[in-house]
Structure formats: C-alpha cells, structure tokens
Amino acid sequence: MLEIQGLDVFYDDVQAVWDVSLHVDEGSIVALVGANGAGKSTLLKTISGITPAERGAILFSGKSLTNLPPQDIVDMGISHVPEGRRLFSNLTVLENLKLGSYTPRARRTIEQSLGRAYDLFPVLRNRRNQKAGSLSGGEQQMLAIARAMMSRPRILMLDEPSLGLSPILVRTMFELIMNLNSQNVTILLVEQNIHQALKIADRAYVLKNGKITMTGGGEELLSDPEVQKAYIGARWSRQ
C-alpha cells in the first residue's frame, strides 16, 4: 500500500535519512524503531509532505506522493499524529475534532466520523466543549488519535504515541492501536518503546542514524539477540 524507495532527506544541511526503502502492506501494523534522532520522525514528516525529499520515491497505492502538498496527501487517506500530539490547546475538544475532518473528502461524512470518535472515546463526548489544554495526558493522546481518525484515513501514522504516558495508559494505547487495526486501518508506528511496538507489529524496521539496519517480523525481531542487546536488554525479554 505504502512504498518507499531509496529515500534521501535533508534536515537543513544535514542528511537525516539515507537511502531508505520500506513498504507497508495494507491492513498491517508496521513499526519503525530506533534510538532518538535516528530519523524516524523525519521519515514520517516526509511522507506527509511537510519535509521535502531530496531523492527517492514515495508511492501510495501506486500514486506518487513526492512534491504533493500536505493537504493533498491527507486527502488521499494518510493521517499523521505528530510527536508530542500537537493539539490546539486553546481550541475545544470538538473544534479539534472538527478540524480533523477539514479535507473535502472527510468533510462530507463529518457527523458520522464524530459519532465514531465519541463511540471509541466516550470521555471526549463528555469534554467536547472544554479546551483541549485542560485535558489530562492520556485524554489528550486519545484526542490526538481521534482527531487523526476524523479524516477517515486508510493509513494512520503515529509518532511516539506512548511518550509521556503512564504504564497503564501505554498498555491501553497499544490495545487501542490494535483495535483500530482490526477495523481495517493500516498502521505505521514510530516508537521508542521498542518492546511494545515489536509485540504488536506484523513487520518492523530498525532505523539507526538514518539508515535501515534490520527488518523482519515483529516477534522475530523481538527475539533477535542483537536487537535485545542493543535496545531492550536481555532481562526485559520476558515482559
């Protein structure tokens, strides 16, 4: 569904992504893991059109995304929840949600999407007229994901969704991701919480210094000794 070939991306004058190729099958969960600064966020930003690519191709269902403006990319069905959530804290929950359906395709079914969002997260319905900034950390993360879902995406890209959340909420978060996936939403997940990410991923790529160093199935990489040594630490593999 989503295919990236030979991507080079520069951040200012520094190259952040080196000749990256990956693919995401429809209906799957793909995880991008790696240390901080490995280039994962830059990669997502390039897919959504915020950051320009220097070289390479990005194809979504066969259509090229390079040089398309972000609004067109969202309209095609790619939704990106950025790192740190980036909610509009001065706007209400409802306003945040509505903006999720800004693109023409999504706007036609905005009422339904709103209904679905409230079904998925009842707490948002209760707080719909409150300012987004007044929500708790977990609620904000839910709002961020709900907002991204408002555009009826075919693929949802999540950048560090578990960041700043308590362990219980982290678990809830990953359950939510699997839930969405079971409703036919393809997921591209960037995570530092490698353990959880690899547990739910069908496929995973390991990114280091902007290059892909390993790839394979989620469980497969989880039990790989190199991955364990570098990122998880042998003691944790039993969680």
Partner 1 sequence: MLEILNLNVIIQLLINGILFGTMYGIAAIGLSLIFGTMRIIFLAQGSMIILFAYVCYWLFELLGLDPYISLILIVLISLWLGAGIYRALFKGAVAQEDKNISLLIAIGLMFLLENLMTVFWTANPRSISTSYTSYVFRPMGIGIPFNRLMGFIMAVLSTTGVVLFLKKTFIGIAVRAAAEDMEAATLLGINPHRVNGTAFAIGTGLAGIAGVELATIYPFDPFFGFIFVLKAMIALAIGGIGSVFGALLGGIILGLLESLASFFIGGGWSDAVSYAVFLLILMLRPEGLLVRSVKKA
Residues at the interface with partner 1 (CB under 8 A): 48, 50, 69-71, 73-75, 80, 82, 85-91, 95-96, 98-100, 102-103, 106-107, 132-135, 140, 147, 151
Nearer to partner 1, 2 or 200 (CB): 2
Beta-strand ranges (E) seen in the chain are 2-11, 14-24, 29-33, 55-60, 63-64, 78-81, 155-159, 186-191, 203-208, 211-217
Q: Which residue from 230, 156, 154, 223 is spatially nearest to 192, judged by alpha carbons?
A: 230
* Residue 91 Cα to chain centre, angstroms: 23
Q: At its nearest, how many Å lie between partner 1 and the CB of residue 40? A: 16
Q: CB neighbours (10 Å) of residue 33?
A: 26
Q: Which residue from 22, 86, 25, 81 is spatially nearest to 48, judged by alpha carbons?
A: 81
Nearer to partner 1, 53 or 87 (CB): 87
Q: At its nearest, how many Å lie between partner 1 and the CB of residue 35? A: 24
Nearer to partner 1, 91 or 232 (CB): 91
Tokens of 53: 């690519």
Nearer to partner 1, 39 or 49 (CB): 49
Q: At its nearest, how many Å lie between partner 1 and the CB of residue 215? A: 27
CB 12 within 8 A of CB 203: no
Q: At its nearest, how many Å lie between partner 1 and the CB of residue 80? A: 5
Q: At its nearest, how many Å lie between partner 1 and the CB of residue 181? A: 21
Q: How far is CA 205 from CA 66, 152, 182, in A?
A: 22, 26, 21
Nearer to partner 1, 185 or 227 (CB): 185
3-state helix, strand, coil in the chain (%, to 5): 40, 25, 30
Q: At its nearest, how many Å lie between partner 1 and the CB of residue 218? A: 26
Nearer to partner 1, 98 or 125 (CB): 98
Q: How far is CA 234 from CA 183, 213, 224, 229, in A?
A: 34, 20, 10, 6
